Amino acid sequence: MAEVKTDRVLDLFFRAMKGEALSVQELSYEYEVSTRSVSRDITALKLFLAEHADVLGFAELVFNGQDRTYHLEMDDFITNKELMAMVKVLIGSRPFNQKELLTLINKLKAHTSYQDRKKLEELVSKEVYNYPPVNADCDSVIDRCWQLTEYIHEKRILTIEYIKMDRTYVTHRILPLAIMFSEYYFYMIAYEVDDAEQAESVRSSDDHKVSSFMGQGLAVPHYFRVDRIVNVTAHREFYHLARMQEFDESLLRQRSQFMWPGELQRIRFEFTGPSVQAVLDRLPTAKIVDYSHDVYTIDATVYGDGIIMYLLSQGEWVKVISPDSLVKRMKEHIEAMAEKY
């Protein structure tokens, strides 16, 4: 009998954790016991929560007089305002298909408080219904990201089948380095491999091939959109990078615009727009080095050609000063644009 009661109390606890409203009357019918027995179970659960507050944090079964049910309140529950912010980011970033988005939101809602859940559903229902996901070539972006994350952790050499921007299929043999999110898409950062010229193979104790890459031709990583990776082959071959080739995601995030690859460069430009703070937010490495007559002079360190796309988007508010190669390319782009009008 004691075991039956213990099981019942545990069942109540897990049901409350999932956000279920507990009705003494309904539970007595379900468990085929008296309402007094259910009330004792709820009292036992309340005592348990109080005695283990150091582990669970604030957690309490609260009685709702309107519908005469108990619900669980915990400090560790995601509040309505916190979840609203998270859901807005998920919807605005658009990386997942609608099914994946709904699954994520429903799982998050399960950890909101009883009172907040219905309010949240009302607040986001229209946005979820009209949600426009980006097109993906793989079945599930979430599954593909996790698969690649495991291979990155294992440092396993991969061959991927990839759909390029022009919709042609190509294969790449790569060393996967990191997964990043930027501008609606997840990206896999990787080095390309040429076994014959760039790797020296040795045997590990488990008889798997391990390749040591010492830096020849591996200075610039390549970016692959995860949603365009249609197939992944994991080889029984692992890699080891020299320290100079180890990858720093935080630096790439600060220096890369629109995830366009390329060489590292230091740039300087003038800005006359209404919000210099927007520029500083967009370019984390940017610093104001001068301000005169409503003109800001800004230095930044960036990777690749994505910076050209960003600077062009600022129109007449921007004038590039250096390096000369960037000034020349900006002029070429502006002249080519002018010819279209």
Distance CA(18)–CA(308), nearest Å, equals 49
Q: What is the mean pLDDT of residues 62-75?
A: 82
The pLDDT-based confidence of 197 (bands split at 50, 70, 90) is very low
The pLDDT-based confidence of 217 (bands split at 50, 70, 90) is very low
H/E element holding 319? strand 318-322
The answer to whether 107 touches 117, Cβ cutoff 8 Å, is no
Our CA angle for 262, 265, 269, nearest 5°, is 120
The pLDDT-based confidence of 5 (bands split at 50, 70, 90) is low
On the question of pLDDT at 245 being above 70, the answer is no
On the question of pLDDT at 209 being above 60, the answer is no
Q: Where are the beta strands (DSSP E) in 127-168?
A: 156-163
The CB density around residue 174, as the number of other CB atoms within 10 Å, is: 23
Q: What is the mean pLDDT of residues 209-224?
A: 60
* Range with lowest mean pLDDT among 115-124, 152-161, 183-192: 115-124
In the numeric block, the tokens 């309904």 are attached to: 26
The answer to whether 45 touches 70, Cβ cutoff 8 Å, is no
Distance CA(45)–CA(10), nearest Å, equals 8
Phi, psi of 87 (to 5 degrees): -65, -40
* Range with lowest mean pLDDT among 7-11, 163-167, 217-221, 336-340: 217-221
Portion of the chain with pLDDT greater than 90, in percent:
35
The answer to whether 21 touches 71, Cβ cutoff 8 Å, is yes
Which candidate, 97, 91, 96, 98, places its Cα nearest to that of 124?
91
Q: What is the mean pLDDT of residues 284-294?
A: 93
**In Å, what is the CA distance from 263 to each residue of 179, 218, 290?**
20, 12, 26
Distance CA(112)–CA(114), nearest Å, equals 7
Which candidate, 313, 305, 307, places its Cα nearest to that of 334?
313
Distance CA(93)–CA(181), nearest Å, equals 9
On the question of pLDDT at 106 being above 90, the answer is no
On the question of pLDDT at 13 being above 50, the answer is yes
Higher pLDDT, 240 or 30: 30
pLDDT value at residue 88: 86
On the question of pLDDT at 287 being above 60, the answer is yes
pLDDT tens digits along 37-55: 888 888 888 888 888 777 6
Which candidate, 199, 186, 196, places its Cα nearest to that of 143?
186
Side-chain-side CA neighbours of 304 within 13 Å: the count stands at: 19
**In Å, what is the CA distance from 128 to each residue of 15, 121, 139?**
27, 10, 20
The pLDDT-based confidence of 137 (bands split at 50, 70, 90) is very high
Q: What is the mean pLDDT of residues 188-206?
A: 58
Question: Can you say whether the dihedral through the CA atoms of 132, 135, 138, 141 is positive or negative?
Answer: negative
The pLDDT-based confidence of 270 (bands split at 50, 70, 90) is very high
